[in-house]
Amino acid sequence: MSERTVLPAAGPLRGRVSVPGDKSIAHRAVMFNAAGQGEALVRGLPSGRDVASTMAAMAGLGAGIERLGLDSVRVRGRDLVFDRSPGRIDCENSGTTMRLLCGLLAGQQGLDATLVGDASLSRRPMRRVAEPLARLGALIETTEGHAPVRIRGGLLTGAEVALAVASAQVKSAVILAGLQGQGTTAVVEPASSRDHTERLLRAMGVDLIVGGADGHGAGGCRVEVSGPAALACVDVLVPGDPSSAAFLLVAAAIVPGSEVTIDGVLLNPTRLGFLHVLRRMGADIQCSVDALVGGEEVGTITARFSRLRAFEVAADEVPATIDELPLLAVAAAFADGMSVVRGAAELRVKESDRIAATAALLGAMGIRVDVFDDGFCVHGGVPRGGASVLTHGDHRIAMSAAVAALACVEGVTVDDAESVAVSFPEFFDVLARLGA
C-alpha cells in the first residue's frame, strides 16, 4: 500500500483534460470480439488492472490478443468455441470479468473452468449470477455463494429469467448464455441498468428485442435474444469513462472558482444518473454530444464551482448512479441541508462495503452521516479534513477521499493511493494538471 496526503487546493481547478477509456465498454469490446468471428481492433483501452484481467482471461481461453500500443489491441475471435480445459482463470479484482465469463462459458459444451479472484472479489456475491443462469440449464458451482466459481459447460435452453435486482453484469451474463442456447431467452429487470451489452451486440449483428418489463415499454427492462447466434467482430473506439470523469466534475463543483472541461466522454443516458443528481443540487454542468461512436453517444462535459443544496436518491435512481454514490456523498458533505440515499443495499457488496466506508470517510472529516441498511443520510457542513481515511483497497473510496480533501480545511491522508490504478491510474496526475 502507498499512503498519500492530499492537501486543500491552493486555488481554483482549471483546465481541459481527458479520462481513461470506459471500463464497461472496454471489457465487452475485448470479451465479445474474442467470442466473435474474424478479428477487430479495439482502441482507447484504459490502463487499469480490471480490463487487463479480461484480456488475460480471453487469451487463456485461446483468443488472440495482440498488443499494438499502450491503449490498443487486435483481437482474433474464437467464433464461440473456446479451449475446453483452461483450468483456473484469475479475474483478480474484476467482478465484470467474472460475472460475464459465467454466462459466456456456461454454453461451452465439454468446458471445465474455475474462476478465481483476489480477496476482495472473493467476498462478492456470485450466487446472484449462478442462479439465473441455472434457469437455462447452466452448471455453475459457487463456493458458499462466492468465488471460486466452477463452470462446466453444457447444452442450454432458452428461458425467461426475472432478476430480483437490476444488474448490467447479471443481465449481460444471461444474454451471453442465451446466445448459445436453443430457443428464446428473455431477461427481465425491475429497473433499467446500463445497456452497453445490448448496443455492442447489435453492432456485431445480433438481433435483440428490448422493451419494458411488461413487453410493451413500461415497468423496468426486458431483453430477448434467440440462439444459437453468431457474433461478427467489430472495431471499437472506447470513449472516456463517465464514472472517472465524475470525480473531476465534483472537484470542480466544490472548489471555489473552478472550471473543468472533459473531452471525449461517454454520454450514454444509462450512465449519467450522477449528472442529474448534481444538477438537482444546483451544480453548473453543461454537456454536448459531439459524435456517435459504435452506437454510443460521446461528447464534452464542463463543470464550474457552484453553491450546492441537498438531494435525495430513491431506489429507482440507484442503478444509474450506483458507482458514483460515494462521490455524491462527498458532494453532499459540502451542500446545504441533509442528503438522503435509499434503496442502495448493493453498495454493501462492492469492492468494499461502500455504505460503511463512505460514512467512515466523511465522519473522519467531521461530517455527520446516518447509516441505513440500504443507504445513508449526509448532514452537509464544512468538512475539516485533517484525517486519515481507510480505503479498504477500494479505488472509488480512495478517489472520493482525495476529492473531498481538495475543499477541506486541512489535508487528508489516503491509506492506499495505489488502489486508484484499478480504474484511473492517472488520477493524481490529472488532478495536479488541473492545479491541485
| Residues tagged active-site | 323
Angle at 281 between CA 5 and CA 424, to 5 degrees: 40
CB 244 within 8 A of CB 423: yes
Number of helical (H) and strand (E) elements in the chain, helices listed first? 13, 23
Radius of gyration of the chain (CA): 21
**How far apart are the C-alpha atoms of 226 and 84, rounded to whole Å?**
24
Alpha carbon distance 269, 292 (integer Å) = 13
Strands (DSSP E) found in 193-304: 209-211, 221-227, 236-237, 259-266, 284-293, 296-304
Q: What is the DSSP code (8-state) at residue 203?
A: H
Question: What 3 state SS string does 28-92 have?
Answer: HHHHHHHCCECEEEEECCCCCHHHHHHHHHHHHCCCEEEECCCCEEEEECCCCCCCCCCEEEECC
CA-wise closest residue to 29 among 16, 14, 18, 39 = 39
Beta-sheet pairing, 338-341 with 312-313: parallel
CA distances (Å), 17 to each of 174, 200, 265, 296, 423, in order? 37, 27, 10, 20, 16
- Find out whether 70 and 41 touch, Cβ atoms under 8 Å: no
Give the integer Cα–Cα distance in Å for 354 and 168: 19
Strands of 77-138, DSSP E = 87-90, 112-116
Please, what is the Cα angle at 392 between 254 and 101, to 5 degrees? 105
